[in-house]
Amino acid sequence: MKLTLGFSPCPNDTFIFDALIHHKIDTDGLTFEVSYDDVETLNQKAMKGQLDITKLSFHAFAYAASQYALLDAGSALGFGVGPLLISHKFDQETLAERIKNDPGSLRVGIPGKYTTANFLLGIAYPELHNKQELVFSEIETALLADQIDLGLIIHENRFTYADRGLTKIVDLGDYWEKLTGCAIPLGGIVINRNLDREIQLKVNRLIRESVEYAFAHPKSGIDFIREHAQAMDEAVMYKHIELYVNKYSINLGAEGRKAVDILFTLAQERNIIPAIQAHLYI
């Protein structure tokens, strides 16, 4: 049986899915047709129900929960892994002054409306409304070209912004951790609810086995990871993987589910997302 599968070309996703899609584990009769897309494209595809299985932002999952259920395997949660708000011209003090006096003039580059990063930005800085959606990898360049005043960065850009003379204003992951005491839920793997329950459970098991294989053989997928990593230095690739792939990627567990539940509760209380009627998990 062939299933469509979407995930990003970022090292954490290619690390997770390498063993699965290249049959380094027994896939028990399943094959996968893969789409490699940036996170916001995956979010949009999920909201249209275009894929059988897909990575998506937890923020976007709120709009797709009627069609998809969250798997226990494959998620990206963690401490110290949140999005960063950066700038070329502001520090915390000067930004606070501008927000107080003229927040509407601040142009903010975000990696997508439905990203969890944008959700956290809305919680921390509700005054910032002048947002421009950019591909996450273009935000640093837009800052340096003075096309935006602030940039919300995710993924490997955490490791590159300082080298380009950009300054961190706030770590929104740290903000979340102090607010909730939980790991920050960034992205999850969801499966179409129309698929048989047996298939849903099988896919969850196979993704877990793929992650476990990757941990046991961390260099096994190096060529595949490098192929999609936008000429990223190998040391940066593995820093990226170390941050975003962890015990929650094997199994959300009670702690991971608690973090996801709190995320949605806070978002609904602040009217950032609609009320969710469906049960979230498989």
Residue 53, amino acid: I
Q: To which H or E segment does residue 16 belong?
A: helix 11-21
- Bridge partners (DSSP) of residue 152 are 85
Name residues whose C-beta falls within 8 Å of residue 82's C-beta, 6 or more positions apart in sequence.
117, 120, 171, 172, 173, 174, 175, 176, 177, 184, 186
**From the CB of residue 119, how many other CB atoms can be counted at a distance below 10 Å?**
26
Burial (CB count <10 Å: 0-12, 13-18, 19+), residue 201:
middle
Q: Could you say which of 155, 228, 240, 279 is catalytic?
A: 155
Confirm whether residue 69 is marked as ligand binding. Answer: no
Confirm whether residue 137 is marked as ligand binding. Answer: no
**From the CB of residue 179, how many other CB atoms can be counted at a distance below 10 Å?**
14
Question: DSSP secondary-structure letter at 276?
Answer: P
Residue 159, amino acid: F
Active site residue 240: no
Distance of CA 276 to the CA centre of its chain: 20
Confirm whether residue 235 is marked as ligand binding. Answer: no
Alpha-carbon dihedral 113, 116, 118, 124, rounded to 10 degrees: 150
Confirm whether residue 5 is marked as ligand binding. Answer: no
State how far the Cα of 70 lies from the Cα of 200, in Å rounded to an integer.
10
Helix, strand or coil, per DSSP, at residue 73 = coil
State how far the Cα of 206 lies from the Cα of 203, in Å rounded to an integer.
5
Confirm whether residue 117 is marked as ligand binding. Answer: yes
Which residues sit in the known binding site for substrate?
Answer: 55-57, 116-117
Which residues sit in the known binding site?
Answer: 55-57, 116-117
**Which residues form the catalytic set?**
155
